[in-house]
Amino acid sequence: MMSQQVLHIKGRPLVRGAGPFVFGVLNVTPDSFSDGGRYARASEAIEAGVRMAEEGADVIDIGGESTRPGSQPVPADEQIRRTRPVIAELARQFGSRGPSISVDTRLAEVARAAVDAGATIINDITALRDDQALAPLAASTGVGVILMHMQGTPATMQQCPTYRNVVAEIRQFLAERIVAATTAGIPLERLVVDPGIGFGKTTTHNLEILRRAGEFRDLGVPVLIGPSRKRFIGEVLGIPEPIKRLYGTLAAVAACVLAGVECVRVHDVAACRQVADLCAAIRSAG
């Protein structure tokens, strides 16, 4: 019998080797890199979340703070104002059978409001480093936690990011953060790791992460990768506008799923759902 500590998504356990699970990106901010302002009003964000659910999203990942390169922190009360009504209404509509809700935040105050409103996953770009109250909150509420790697901060991360061995260094960091999380009382079965495509990495680094994505599975927990519409796709393909990077995103999603990555975080749910499911079938054939 599976441990009750295992994180379940739409009735399926989120464990190593499961999936693919598709996370739909829902930025309720005026300044996100790809769709800033499109869902700044709660009513529009709720409609978008419902649409993502209909398109096959397993999780709706809701953020009230842009973490694009060069961005500045957003106060907790403003993040809560943006995210809480959207989370509460989607949680009410989805109930126990619909997608889970993740809150993309690095602040315990925001996470508390989100969990109270119905979120069951905390997605922290700092891997529980920024706010010392976040790990105890996650442990006490029993939510899932995504630990992401980032070199620097959103304001500084693209100022000449440097690694000797990008995959090895990220793996070491994530291994250390897994230990920190479990030491804080968060069960291993509720952890997911994210190598942080685009967060303190060059295009070369991002491509290397995707080429070696399967190596992150050695950490013993599910892996999430979020390549959607990122700058490296635009640089490789010569497409400056993020909204036009769908085909490149689909290629990156295919690479992730074929490598065994359990979760992908994307803007274009319907198209990525089809690619993820077909690649999973190819990978498991025979």
Task: Give CA–CA dist 74/127, Å, rounded.
Answer: 18
Distances (CA, A) of 127 to 70, 151, 196, 243: 19, 11, 10, 28
Q: Classify the phi-psi angles of 119: left when phi > 0, otherwise alpha if psi is within -120 to 50, otherwise beta.
A: beta
Known catalytic residue at 201: no
28/41 Cα distance (integer angstroms): 7
**What is the DSSP track for 120-133?**
-EEEETTTT-S-TT
Q: Which of 230, 231, 245, 273 is catalytic?
A: 230
Residue 253 burial (C-beta neighbours within 10 Å; 0-12, 13-18, 19+): buried
Strands 12-13 and 263-266: unpaired
Catalytic amino acids?
230, 265
